[in-house]
Structure 1
Amino acid sequence: MRVLLLEDDRELRRTLRDALAVEGYEVLTAASLADAQALLAHAREPLDLVVLDLGLPDGDGEELLAAVRRHESLPVLVISARQAEGQKIRLLDAGADDYLVKPFGVAELLARMRVALRHRGTRVSAALTDYRHGRVHVDLAAQRVRRGGEPVHLTPTEFKLLARLVRQAGQVVTHRQLLRDVWGAEFTEHTHYLRLYMAQLRAKLEDEPAEPRLLLTETGVGYRLAEPDEDAAPPLMPS
């Protein structure tokens, strides 16, 4: 899922970008109205949702909402410190799917994004971001992997592949989905990449790499990460 995040506050923009990335979103960021308009006009792939602030250095986010609504049916979620009821009503009537007043929790933002997407026919479940199975612990928010309490060094691609499986632990993820999400849409036929990197992950995480119990093959379909332990800690949400 590709999200355009328009927010001029650098720290908040970084915090939201990182939190959305942990959940598996691909995030395009803009700090001004002009930047956001350029990203919308020249996006190489379709966007799935827009999160926009109102008070910007070169205009008002309301202008972007009007532009999106003229050409797109994208869900738009407004985030703003402005609390006036009249403005909220005007923006909702103008086509905003939701209006979230700052300060807010990241968990609430993610939930409202899922609702906005669901209303447009796209069902998105909350991603698992803290995974424990046997001696393996993966914390996506901290980008940390441990086995038997010891840190495991993964390459960026290995971590990205593992993270994609963690977010849907217990479910089969097809070869095509993994290749598209980890390497890009142009690599969806390169299944040898998956075989190579899955072998590397198993060598680092499995007790018996030749007889995997964590990273499971679904023959002819894809791969599945074993379900997390029932007594594992609940998923951690960025704050």
Structure 2
Amino acid sequence: MAETILLVEDEEGLSTYLKTELEFEGYKVLTATDGMQAITMYRQNQYAIGVILLDWMLPELDGLEVLRRVRKGDDVPVIMMTARDYVGDKVAGLDAGADDYITKPFEIEELLARIRVVIRHQLKSNVSTYQVADLQLDVRTRTATRGDKTLEVLTERETDLLVLLMQHAGTPVTRPEMLDRVWGKDYEGQVNIIDVYIRYLRNKIDLPGLPPLIHTVRGVGYILMGAAND
């Protein structure tokens, strides 16, 4: 599943350009052109939005006020965009809860890199524990249990991959998404690294006498769920 980005930008040409480039990279993009519309769009899609790209200078409500309202109840990653390069603005944005800051004009490659960074950070820090069926994972200690059985400690990469599967439990996660979210879009190694790490995870969490949790979706990727489909 593609990450959903809320793009808040009132300059039509720039908004169209960014939306096109982001969609080309595989992201789903929602757009808003003023601060009030941004808040409405955010509230309607709060649980789907993975990143907010937020312009500072907006009609109705400025970007800083939008950020403050979002931060009242959500830690979704927010990257501020502005044409002003004043240190005071950057400090104000970061103090209000922005995760990153980029100054216009910028290269699309830099923006994409910053998006990947905040997504990876969110993947690791958003929630400390996950549970699906009888599997429970503590992200901070990289320990997992199935029922009353403590499993072998996971590596950092195994933990990131298992978190991704648990976040999307019951829904197939594609190989490209696994590479993007766990290894990063700049990964240039073999695609079969995913299958190698899935095997590692299965060896650790699929215990004898218990139903397997990670299942292959042929031609797509893998799914974490409580009933075997393989």
TM-score when normalising by structure 1: 0.53
| Counterpart mapping for 1:140-151 below 5 A | none
| Structure 1: unaligned runs, 5 residues or longer | 124-163, 174-218, 226-239
Which residue pairs with 1:87 in the alignment?
Answer: 89
The 1:86/1:220 distance shift into structure 2, 3 A limit, reads: closer
Q: How many residues matched?
A: 141
Distance in 1 between the 2:220 and 2:11 partners? Answer: 39
Distance in 1 between the 2:84 and 2:103 partners? Answer: 7
Distance in 2 between the 1:44 and 1:88 partners? Answer: 25
Shift of 1:4: 0.4
Which residue pairs with 2:99 in the alignment?
Answer: 97
Distance in 2 between the 1:97 and 1:44 partners? Answer: 17
- 1:63-91 Cα shifts (integer Å, max 9, x gaps): 11001110101000001001110110111
What RMSD over aligned residues (CA atoms) do the two structures have, in Å?
Answer: 2.8
Aligned with 1:221 (options 184, 201, 217)? 217
Find the residue that maps to 1:90 and give its secondary structure. helix
Which residue pairs with 1:52 in the alignment?
Answer: 54
Which residue pairs with 2:147 in the alignment?
Answer: none
Between 1 and 2, higher relative CO (CA 8 Å, sep ≥ 6) is seen in 1
Counterpart AA for 1:222: R
The 1:116/1:44 distance shift into structure 2, 3 A limit, reads: closer
Distance in 2 between the 1:60 and 1:5 partners? Answer: 14
Which residue pairs with 1:32 in the alignment?
Answer: 34
Shift of 1:44: 7.0
Which residue pairs with 1:74 in the alignment?
Answer: 76
Distance in 1 between the 2:46 and 2:84 partners? Answer: 33
Counterpart AA for 1:9: E
The 1:122/1:25 distance shift into structure 2, 3 A limit, reads: farther
The 1:91/1:105 distance shift into structure 2, 3 A limit, reads: same
| Counterpart mapping for 1:1-239 below 5 A | 1-43=3-45, 45-121=47-123, 170=191, 221-223=217-219
Shift of 1:45: 4.3
The 1:107/1:221 distance shift into structure 2, 3 A limit, reads: same
Find the residue that maps to 1:55 and give its secondary structure. coil
Counterpart AA for 1:67: R
Distance in 2 between the 1:28 and 1:7 partners? Answer: 11
Counterpart AA for 1:221: V
Counterpart AA for 2:45: A
Identity of aligned residues (%): 37
Report runs of 4+ in structure 1 exceeding 6 Å deviation: 164-169
Distance in 2 between the 1:62 and 1:51 partners? Answer: 12
Which residue pairs with 1:129 in the alignment?
Answer: none
Find the residue that maps to 2:97 and give its secondary structure. coil
